[in-house]
């Protein structure tokens, strides 16, 4: 679902017993996430977790200090 300013809102997912989550197909398609892609988890304290493809990470993290 797309909201204002191109932001997307998605449904919830549940974590399995082994700590795994499934990224729904429509979200994988939207972000072109393929089997075998490396994903990076970004966190802000204990408030949120973001998932980004490794190939897109350099757009979000400064190469000089590794911070946002």
pLDDT tens figures, 21-42: 999 998 899 889 999 999 998 8
Where in the chain does DSSP place strands (E)? Answer: 39-44, 48-53
Q: How confident is the model at residue 66 (pLDDT cuts 50, 70, 90)?
A: low
Q: How confident is the model at residue 60 (pLDDT cuts 50, 70, 90)?
A: low
- % residues pLDDT > 90 (the chain): 29
Q: What structural domains does the chain harbor?
A: 4-59 (2.10.260.10)
- Let me know if 45 is exposed, middle or buried by CB neighbors in 10 A (0-12, 13-18, 19+): exposed
Count other C-beta atoms under 10 Å from residue 27's C-beta. Answer: 15
pTM of the model: 0.65
Q: DSSP state, 25?
A: H
- Measured between alpha carbons, how far is 12 from 33 in angstroms, rounded to an integer? 18
């Amino acid at each position: 679902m797309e909201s204002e300013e191109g932001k997307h809102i998605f449904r919830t997912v549940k974590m399995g017993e082994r700590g795994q989550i499934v990224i729904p197909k429509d979200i994988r398609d939207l972000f072109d996430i393929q089997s075998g892609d490396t994903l990076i988890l970004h966190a802000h304290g204990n408030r949120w977790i973001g998932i980004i493809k490794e190939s897109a990470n350099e757009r979000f993290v400064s190469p000089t200090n590794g911070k946002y």
